Chain A
Amino acid sequence: GAVVSQHPSRVICKSGTSVKIECRSLDFQATTMFWYRQFPKQSLMLMATSNEGSKATYEQGVEKDKFLINHASLTLSTLTVTSAHPEDSSFYICSADLQGYGSNQPQHFGDGTRLSIL
């Protein structure tokens, strides 16, 4: 089955640090990837849609200068949390879909990155 790899799985760093999270599709090409944020015991909140070769589309209320997304290849999207502060601490999850492989294909998720800002 489709596999999405996310790295790192956990980051602990000081306030003001910028943190980059990688999302890779391992056995398929993903022209579109999605970045979510999840608070404890809550559902996933879509932050942005990452499009290969073009600018990401951000959801309302998500600061694009704060959360930089780069989708430079068909298998890699990165999310950079710039100048992270404690309120940015959260579980960040990426996903990729197989829409290019047929209609109604599901999204497959990475294992998430636990970001803790001290």
Chain B
Amino acid sequence: TQLLEQSPQFLSIQEGENLTVYCNSSSVFSSLQWYRQEPGEGPVLLVTVVTGGEVKKLKRLTFQFGDARKDSSLHITAAQPGDTGLYLCAGMGTSYGKLTFGQGTILTVHP
């Protein structure tokens, strides 16, 4: 069974601060996806990283996939209240199509 450890579980920061969310595993993933979820809605895909060492940027969000494809991070620069939400990492493993989800990070950005 593949596990994906996501940390921190809760993050409460002030507007303008930077933050990093981590996802770590002992397993190799063929790809890793990051989602953001608002209360009462389904997760929305932010990015998919595929290649070891890959870095993708989405405005103030920077996603990195570890060289060994076992870990990933999400860095948000100058967080805004609109960034508040549940962030989920999910790895695509060896079982076709099945995603392994991290525990999620609840981010609250205070104005």
Contacts and interface: CB of A to CB of B under 8 A. Distances in A.
A97 interface: yes
Contacts of B88: 43-44
B101 A111 contact: no
B97 interface: yes
A93 B97 CA distance: 16
Nearest to B95: A49
Contact of B42 (A6, A42, A97, A104): A6
B29 to A, nearest CB: 10
A91 B106 CA distance: 17
Given A104-B92, A111-B41, A32 B106 contact: no
Contacts of B42: 4, 6, 93, 95, 109-112
A17 interface: no
Given A104-B50, A111-B41, A112-B41, A43 B98 contact: no
A33 to B, nearest CB: 9
A32 B106 CA distance: 29
Contacts of A44: 43, 88, 101
Interface string B13-50: 00000000000000000110101000011111100101
Contact of A104 (B41, B48, B86, B102): B48
Contact-residue bracket for chain A = 20 to 34
B97 A49 contact: yes
Contacts of A45: 101
B50 A49 contact: no
Interface in A45-85: 45-46, 49
18 contacts: A34-B97, A34-B98, A34-B99, A41-B86, A41-B104, A44-B88, A46-B98, A91-B40, A93-B42, A99-B96, A99-B97, A104-B31, A104-B50, A106-B45, A107-B45, A107-B90, A109-B35, A111-B42
Interface of A: 4, 6, 32, 34, 41-46, 49, 91, 93, 95, 97, 99, 103-104, 106-112, 114
Given A43-B6, A108-B45, 9 more contacts: A4-B42, A32-B96, A34-B98, A43-B102, A43-B103, A45-B101, A46-B99, A106-B33, A107-B45
